[in-house]
Amino acid sequence: MSEPKSKRAPKLDGATIAEEDDGIRLDRWFKRHREGTPHALLARWARSGQLTLDGKKADVSDRIATGQKLVMPTPPVEAEARPARKGRPLTDADIELATGMVIHRDASAIVLNKPPGLATQGGTKTEQHVDGLLDALKFDGPVRPKLVHRLDKDTSGALLIARTPRAAAYFAKSFSNRSARKTYWAIVVGVPDIAQGEIDLPLAKQPGSGGEKMHVHESGLASKTRYRVIERAGNSAAWVELQPLTGRTHQLRVHMAAIGHPIVGDGKYGGKGAFLTGTISRKMHLHSRRLRIDHPDGGAIDISAEVPEHFAASLDALGFDTLLGEVGIDDVAKGPSPKAAEKAAAKAHSKQIRKARRGERRGRTATSKPTDHVGKPKAKTGKPATRKPGAKKPPRPARPR
């Protein structure tokens, strides 16, 4: 009697979690990168242990982290060919909102100035989000644009959208290898003791928060943030420039709160102490000010996004000079220090004075006679007497006793 044929093992597929996907749910990753894979199929893979992260059994609700190795079965052809579920039809207001956010557009990329309060992607009880508005930003492009990174719902500013699959892969790699440069502006409570520095604190998901909140933990992922105090409002608040050197979830918010200066309006990490009194808005004051990234067609994108109304009003209310924010961290790091610049200016001024004086001396006539400080001719002075070699020194006069 022949043995029963064993079930054929499914073909496996794999992927490495990129930086822009850090902290999202596993099922959200599939919506981004394996569009059309049914949720029921994902759940079946998870139950049977065919879905793993770093070799361990994974669930569709697990939060994923940068660098994790995801292994999954190759989806059947019918699942791959299944069209993605269409979102709700866009209204005229949706289209106006989407197109009004555009601050840069070319054949491969679109940059939006996302307002605070608008989520980047959908979630529980989130009906309006940037991802759901992308159909309005197709313009004359061949396909629907695609998100390549994200901003928190309450964070405003520059958000990059790829217009082609090639551009999406190129930009995703730039964010993953950290060649892209993101610069943020924030208003924080209090003033850091050191005006410019680097925060190096590992971050991990906070237990009991369902992955929705991060905290500093020695076993967490390496996280680094550069910062610079642009200006201070006494001891109550400071306007700072932030540059994330890694891309962890809520990194800037956790780092600033960890050093005792939470971002104004960030009650999630700063509690009641994150709010200022008076006319300062209770909205979060974190803005993606500038984005610099290489372009897939050559050159680079370097774009700045204007701050939202509440942020601008707070800058004005606190008496900050907006021109001071135009000098970035990189410019300050490469340029001379203020003291060195002052010394250089003084040196140049002195050099000009010396040149002018040399010109005056050259202009003197040969017949002119040198004068003393009152204008009278200077008396001729003879050369001091010198001793001949071998001559004895004259005797010193005797001291009176």
Active site residues: 152
Burial 228-263 (b: 16+ CB within 10 A, else e): bbbbbbeeebbbbbbbbbbbbbbbbbbbbbbbebbb
Looking only at the bridges linking them, the beta strands covering 109-114 and 156-162 are: antiparallel
226 DSSP β-pair partners:
198, 243
The tokens for 337 are: 């220090």
Instruction: Tell me how far apart the alpha carbons of residues 290 and 222 are, in angstroms, rounded to a whole number.
Output: 24
d(CA 36, CA 253): 34
Report how far residue 185's alpha carbon sits from residue 312's, in angstroms, rounded to the nearest whole number.
Answer: 11
Give the side-chain half-sphere CA count within 13 A for 254: 23
Strand partners, 102: 112
| Terminal Cα distance for the chain, rounded | 141
Integer-rounded Cα Rg, in Å, for the chain is 34
Q: How many helices (H) and strands (E) does the chain have?
A: 11, 16
